[in-house]
Structure 1
């Protein structure tokens, strides 16, 4: 299990880095587009569509890392004051609930992507791409989110370092 955890941690870090690179490219492209428009040079064709796809991909690439780092908003007013003997099982229960909900999202996201691929649906904007390419970001992200929730259920972390901020 330690080697799986180390490998999965590396995957999460890679995905977070990739998401960060996508966000940085989006920021640079938007700045470039503003400069081009303000200098009368037109604009970058398809930029808005590329930004939409980039935001979609980056969000689902970064979400598992955010969960792993416990860096999202959490309301720990109650759990921070509980004794460890109570807080640990509660953290396990919450992680299992997150796993169940994420598994449901994974199921429907996968179903949507597969149906789109079977139908041969295309997105026709500035780019013409198969719809399932865009839809595949969600199942990939939710697989990693489900794995992370299972890891947290098996080994709950009771870190309250940022409680009260």
Structure 2
């Protein structure tokens, strides 16, 4: 299960990275096009719309990997001096809170997706359905929920074993 979860999170992050690279290339082409208007070049049509949808996808695509690797911002100024068992409890509570937050975000994202699909709203320039961006972000959001639920069980395992469990190649 651990390897499957890691592969799922890593694949999601790789897709997010590829999308960001493609968006960067498109942005550069668009900027060059704007700068070269006097010589007949043009910017990429609808570049802002594509960036909006692509960045949303990328952000959600990085969440599963971030959750698996415990890469969210942490302030452990006070907890670093606490006993390991108390820190395990804090980690478990934090994992549960993050899981609940991700589930709520994914639920609301799904609600937004169904609303945009129902109303048939399209983007201004490219006229592509707005729900496409929601659907693209929804898939990695679901993956983030799966990884986060898995991580709750990892933290429970740490409490019962009283030692860190290796997940995703790192010891937590």
Structure 1 residue 82: Cα displacement? 1.6
- C-alpha spacing 1:115/1:36, structure 2 compared with 1 (3 Å): closer
Give the CA deviation at 1:95. Answer: 0.7
Paired residues in the alignment total 156
Report the counterpart of residue 24 of structure 1 in structure 2: 21
SS at 2:122 equivalent:
strand
Separation in structure 1 between the aligned mates of residue 138 and residue 15 of structure 2, nearest angstrom:
17
Give 1:136's aligned residue: 135
Deviates most, 108-117 or 56-65: 108-117
Q: Quick one: distance in 2 between partners of 1:67 and 1:14?
A: 14
Instruction: Tell whether the 8 Å contact from 1:57 to 1:137 is kept in structure 2 after alignment.
Output: yes
Cα shift at 1:54? 0.9
Aligned to 2:8: 11
Deviations 1:93-150 (A, max 9, x none): 1111111222222222212212332x24221322222232112244323322222222
CA contact (8 A) 1:110 1:139 kept: yes
Runs (4 or more) in structure 1 with deviation over 6 Å come to none
| Distance (whole Å) between structure 2 residues aligned to residue 131 and residue 36 of structure 1 | 26
- Where in structure 2 are the equivalents of 1:145-164 lying within 5 Å? 145-156=144-155
Q: TM-score, normalising length from structure 1?
A: 0.82
Question: What is aligned with 1:73?
Answer: 73
130-139 or 12-21: bigger deviation: 130-139
Q: Say whether the 8 Å CA contact 2:64–2:148 is kept in structure 1.
A: no
> Counterparts of 2:106 and 2:30 in 1: how far apart (Å)?
35
**Cα deviation, residue 30, structure 1:** 1.4
How much has 1:16 moved relative to structure 2?
0.8
2:61–2:141 CA contact under 8 A, matched in 1: no
Alignment of 1:101-116 (within 5 A): 101-116=101-116
**2:34 alignment partner in structure 1:** 37
